Structure 1
Amino acid sequence: MSIWKTITRKEDPAVYASKDGHLVRSLKVRDFLALGVGTIVSTSIFTLPGEVAAMHTGPAVAISFLLAAVVAGLVAFAYAEMAAALPFAGSAYSWINVIFGEFFGWVAGWALLAEYFIALAFVGSGLSANLRGLLAPLGISLPKSLSNAFGTDGGIVDLISVVVIALVAVLISQGASRAARVENVLVVLKVFVVLLFIVVGLTALHAANYVPFVPKYRPTANGPFGGWQGIYAGVSMIFLSYIGFDSIAANSAEAVNPQKTMPRGILGSLVIAVVLFVAVSLVLVGMLPYSKYANSAEPVGLALRAAGHGGVAAVVQTVAVVGMFTALIGMSMAGSRLIYSFGRDGMLPKWLGTLDKHNRPNRALWTLTIGGILIGAFFPFAFLSQLISAGTLIAFMFVSLGVYALRPREGKDIAKPAFKMPLYPVMPALGFLASLLVFLGLDSQAKIYAGVWFILGLVIYFTYGVHHSALNKQ
């Protein structure tokens, strides 16, 4: 068989339906809404609006959030149709495997794996830093050796990060439905606190802080500030906030009635997130001049204290820490299902695709957990943030183009989905171009790291995956 025929061989969707049929379908729309909102509306809603306003956009940060939401929305429509038509574990990896072939599915899945591994370590590190900040005024602290990544400021291991990532894995290992119940409660609590900030903040707005809404452009050491250049830079920085909806799709093999459940979960969670992000952005820049948020790790707390609401600030920051568990749950569930699908297909060792006696992919779960812990232990926080958006945007481009190959097969070897992407064939192209535009706006380091990760993926595919693929036996 020629190399081209090998890399373009496609999996039969009926095979995936059979293999994933052992997974327990227990997740409903409310569970996916909680998973999506919990992953998207994470710590970034309390930090990113102030940071982007100070660095790039000024009061126009809400425009950056809206534009980033448009890009995410275009791709989310493609995800919704794919998840309804092909409700398999592994999301983009499995879909592209069926539509374009094994190699392209691997590239898309490998790009997503970077997001899940790194996001797990990233959120774990962020939770640890925020929790230590809350405990310090109480006189509770850990030595530097147990507070930072290896080699960073005297650190050996970030103990809190290790513990919380492991605790989340223990919870998920008991079953997706149990993890979803915990997620649902935490998400309700987090959304309540976001609304509390908005309501309290509305009483402390100053119209002068919105003028000029789009500051005049000027170059700075951090990149462009003001004008449409600054808004564009803000979009690339903000897009990281919206990528969590793909964590819903990765669990579609465990959805009850995925034809309806998946589109509602994906699109519904994104709509909720956009409303909350834009509202927080507008309130935040109205409470204090945007320049006050420069180098602030907690702009929401800063604004509330300046307005005389120190008690509300303490509540918001405490719930923000607790709410980070929702992002860890969402990323752990999605990443473990992706690794399971790699093992299921022989692209990584087969034991990763083995289910336990309760039909749970716990071997893949603990592999992801250990990997996330090790990455967080050895790589600094700034490094981790670079790869998350880059890997996901690559998968987004594949999925957007994949709709063109999916449509001719719907009603044939692929069942007709109950949901279809509107404005076909224009919208898939717009989703691809918008994702590409955001990718080009990432800084050069992010592109270099993505290139290194891509090369590593090629090495693994051609030295292991292509020889052990389940398609070799068909």
Structure 2
Amino acid sequence: MLDIFRKMPIERILSEKKEGPQLKRVYGAFELIMLGIGVIVGSGIFVITGVAAADYAGPALTISFIIAGFACACAALCYAELASMIPASGSSYTFCYVGLGEVFGWFVGWCLILEYIVAMSAIATGWSAYITNLLTVIGVDLPSVLTAGPFEGGLINLPAILIVSIIAGLLLLGARESAAVNNLLVVVKIAVIVLFIVLGMKHVDVRNFTPFMPYGWDGVFAGAAIVFFAYLGFDAIANAAEEVKNPAKDMPRAIVGSLIVVTVLYIVVTLVLTGMLPYLAYKEVAAPVAYALAQVGINWGSALVSVGAVTGLTSGVLVTMYSSSRMIYAISRDGLLPIKFSKISVKAGTPVTAIFVVWIIGCLLSGFLPIGIIAELVNMGTIAAFIMVSITVIVLRKSHPELERSFKVPLVPVIPAVAIVICSFLAIQLASVTWIAFACWVTLGLTVYFVYGKSHSLLGRA
């Protein structure tokens, strides 16, 4: 039974000579930062802000973002240290496999598969809302039966399935091609956000900030737990390790840099958004930024924001699908999932089978589940990963103090402990249905591990 706690030797990861086709090292620091911004800015600003303000925190959603951002900053520092010393695909999964043991690595990896695939589906659902809004502005009305799932009165969310399918095709072409597309999308997205801030500030009515905290501190903390979803991008950066030219230096810079940029953007956009309209106006609105501009009469701005949001959310789908396929690839390569999932295309250098699996699941989730349920399900996976990574930093400082770390978390164990406490507190704020769904997912994951992964582990056979 103790073999479930066996640890992956760091030396094996760093010195392992792999046979056959490999992932290609194409990312530099700039591409990594754009990768992080690509997923962090999008899901939070263009999709979740409206729902979180209306249902949880009101105008005090700004405080929710600050709380979530602080917790993520502590966790991000932990990620930066581990990414600099263990430059391998799998991010949290690999870190915990090395520091805590196989079953803990599997647990985190299983949570991250949930996190990435469900996040991708949520972003695709938001993409669908914005593209539908954009088409309506230019006179093209799609039938509601094709733009909403059965839980929302429709039959299938066809636009969401379309974007998931397009991105899957792009990722199959190769990392270099998908990185170039992502860079362009992120530039457009940032330009649109700046435009919204400039236009929206002129229509801010301070009376909309009253009551500032309509749901009290409980609402603020619940809002922080929900918008935690918006910060999962730096985990995606760590997951790209094997495709980075200089991972030891570039990944810490990208993780910390992208987090600083997006936290500032979140705070400013949230203030403008809740200042333009009463917070309840955003209830059940999946495209809050474009909606706000339309409500104050800036229809051209609404249409332009929709264009930018579509491109921005496209990058979000791209990065989360990229990360989920690499996570499945990493776990499969270690034998904990069927080894065929780690098959690499000789020409493109991409994990083709893993991408195909993610594409199928993403189409099912985004095509048939509503955004509210999707957004809440992802948070437990994110929080669990952050907690385990923070613990891993403390453990590896004790067990492997000699290892080179190009970046070190300051004040260890204080900073990791703060991340653990805040993340645990935010987890408590999530709805009971989220906990039930998470418990079911973990139970399924542990069943898969004990039935298949434990006996097929390559480390166990070594």
TM-score range, shorter chain: over 0.9
Cα 1:313/1:20, change in 2 over 3 Å: farther
Cα 1:59/1:143, change in 2 over 3 Å: closer
**Following TM superposition, by how much is the alpha carbon of 1:337 offset from its aligned partner in structure 2, in angstroms?**
0.7
Alignment of 1:260 with 2:249, yes or no, is yes
**Following TM superposition, by how much is the alpha carbon of 1:436 offset from its aligned partner in structure 2, in angstroms?**
0.6
How large is the Cα RMSD of the aligned pairs? Answer: 2.1
Matched position secondary structure for 1:347: coil
**Following TM superposition, by how much is the alpha carbon of 1:47 offset from its aligned partner in structure 2, in angstroms?**
4.2
Cα 1:300/1:145, change in 2 over 3 Å: closer
1:87 matched residue in structure 2:
87
Is 1:209–1:290's contact at 8 Å kept on the other side of the alignment?
A: yes
Is 1:390–1:447's contact at 8 Å kept on the other side of the alignment?
A: yes
Is 1:204–1:287's contact at 8 Å kept on the other side of the alignment?
A: yes
- TM-score relative to the length of structure 1: 0.91
**Which stretch of the first structure deviates more once superposed, 123-132 or 270-279?**
123-132
Is 1:237–1:442's contact at 8 Å kept on the other side of the alignment?
A: yes
2:425 matched residue in structure 1:
437
Could you tell me how far apart the structure 2 residues matched to 1:160 and 1:212 are? 37
Cα 1:101/1:199, change in 2 over 3 Å: same
**Following TM superposition, by how much is the alpha carbon of 1:354 offset from its aligned partner in structure 2, in angstroms?**
2.3
Q: Where do 1:142-291 residues align within 5 Å?
A: 142-143=142-143, 146-149=146-149, 153-155=153-155, 157-211=156-210, 213-215=212-214, 225=215, 227-291=216-280
Match of 2:390 among 375, 389, 400: 400
Match of 1:424 among 412, 416, 419: 412
Give the letter aligned to residue 346 of structure 2: K
2:373 matched residue in structure 1:
383
Could you tell me how far apart the structure 2 residues matched to 1:120 and 1:185 are? 19
**Following TM superposition, by how much is the alpha carbon of 1:287 offset from its aligned partner in structure 2, in angstroms?**
2.5
Is 2:188–2:311's contact at 8 Å kept on the other side of the alignment?
A: no
Cα 1:59/1:380, change in 2 over 3 Å: closer
Cα 1:20/1:281, change in 2 over 3 Å: farther
1:466 matched residue in structure 2:
454
- 1:379-436 per-residue CA deviation (whole Å, 9 max, x = no partner) reads 4444322320011111111001000112134464xx4121011111111111111111
Give the letter aligned to residue 394 of structure 1: A
Alignment of 1:320 with 2:317, yes or no, is no
**Following TM superposition, by how much is the alpha carbon of 1:12 offset from its aligned partner in structure 2, in angstroms?**
2.0
Matched position secondary structure for 1:24: coil
**Which stretch of the first structure deviates more once superposed, 266-275 or 357-366?**
357-366
**Following TM superposition, by how much is the alpha carbon of 1:375 offset from its aligned partner in structure 2, in angstroms?**
3.0
Give the letter aligned to residue 307 of structure 2: T
Is 2:387–2:423's contact at 8 Å kept on the other side of the alignment?
A: yes
Matched position secondary structure for 1:182: helix
Cα 1:159/1:88, change in 2 over 3 Å: same
**Following TM superposition, by how much is the alpha carbon of 1:154 offset from its aligned partner in structure 2, in angstroms?**
4.8
Is 2:6–2:101's contact at 8 Å kept on the other side of the alignment?
A: yes
Cα 1:281/1:152, change in 2 over 3 Å: closer
**Following TM superposition, by how much is the alpha carbon of 1:444 offset from its aligned partner in structure 2, in angstroms?**
0.3
Q: Where do 1:9-158 residues align within 5 Å?
A: 9-17=6-14, 18=16, 22-143=22-143, 146-149=146-149, 153-155=153-155, 157-158=156-157
Is 1:43–1:320's contact at 8 Å kept on the other side of the alignment?
A: no
- TM-score relative to the length of structure 2: 0.93
Matched position secondary structure for 1:422: coil
**Following TM superposition, by how much is the alpha carbon of 1:129 offset from its aligned partner in structure 2, in angstroms?**
3.0
- 1:341-384 per-residue CA deviation (whole Å, 9 max, x = no partner) reads 11101111111122221332222122211221233345444432
**Which stretch of the first structure deviates more once superposed, 298-307 or 105-114?**
298-307
1:301 matched residue in structure 2:
290
Could you tell me how far apart the structure 2 residues matched to 1:443 and 1:144 are? 29
**Following TM superposition, by how much is the alpha carbon of 1:163 offset from its aligned partner in structure 2, in angstroms?**
2.3
Matched position secondary structure for 1:42: helix
Could you tell me how far apart the structure 2 residues matched to 1:373 and 1:47 are? 19
Is 1:20–1:89's contact at 8 Å kept on the other side of the alignment?
A: no
Could you tell me how far apart the structure 2 residues matched to 1:442 and 1:112 are? 18
**Which stretch of the first structure deviates more once superposed, 56-65 or 87-96?**
56-65
**Which stretch of the first structure deviates more once superposed, 203-212 or 117-126?**
203-212
Cα 1:138/1:230, change in 2 over 3 Å: same
Cα 1:117/1:436, change in 2 over 3 Å: same
**Following TM superposition, by how much is the alpha carbon of 1:270 offset from its aligned partner in structure 2, in angstroms?**
1.0
Cα 1:297/1:78, change in 2 over 3 Å: same
Q: Where do 1:335-414 residues align within 5 Å?
A: 335-358=324-347, 359-410=349-400, 412=402
Q: Any stretches of 5+ residues in structure 2 without a counterpart? A: none
Give the letter aligned to residue 70 of structure 2: V
Could you tell me how far apart the structure 1 residues matched to 2:236 and 2:288 are? 27
- 1:29-54 per-residue CA deviation (whole Å, 9 max, x = no partner) reads 11111111110111431343343333
Is 1:82–1:403's contact at 8 Å kept on the other side of the alignment?
A: yes
Matched position secondary structure for 2:153: coil
1:218 matched residue in structure 2:
none
Cα 1:57/1:153, change in 2 over 3 Å: closer
**Following TM superposition, by how much is the alpha carbon of 1:159 offset from its aligned partner in structure 2, in angstroms?**
2.9
Cα 1:384/1:208, change in 2 over 3 Å: closer
Identical pairs, percent: 37
Is 1:85–1:416's contact at 8 Å kept on the other side of the alignment?
A: yes
Number of residue pairs the alignment of both structures matches: 458
**Following TM superposition, by how much is the alpha carbon of 1:148 offset from its aligned partner in structure 2, in angstroms?**
3.7
2:439 matched residue in structure 1:
451
**Following TM superposition, by how much is the alpha carbon of 1:138 offset from its aligned partner in structure 2, in angstroms?**
4.0
**Following TM superposition, by how much is the alpha carbon of 1:20 offset from its aligned partner in structure 2, in angstroms?**
6.5
Could you tell me how far apart the structure 2 residues matched to 1:43 and 1:265 are? 19
**Which stretch of the first structure deviates more once superposed, 280-289 or 422-431?**
280-289
Could you tell me how far apart the structure 2 residues matched to 1:194 and 1:80 are? 27
Matched position secondary structure for 1:94: helix
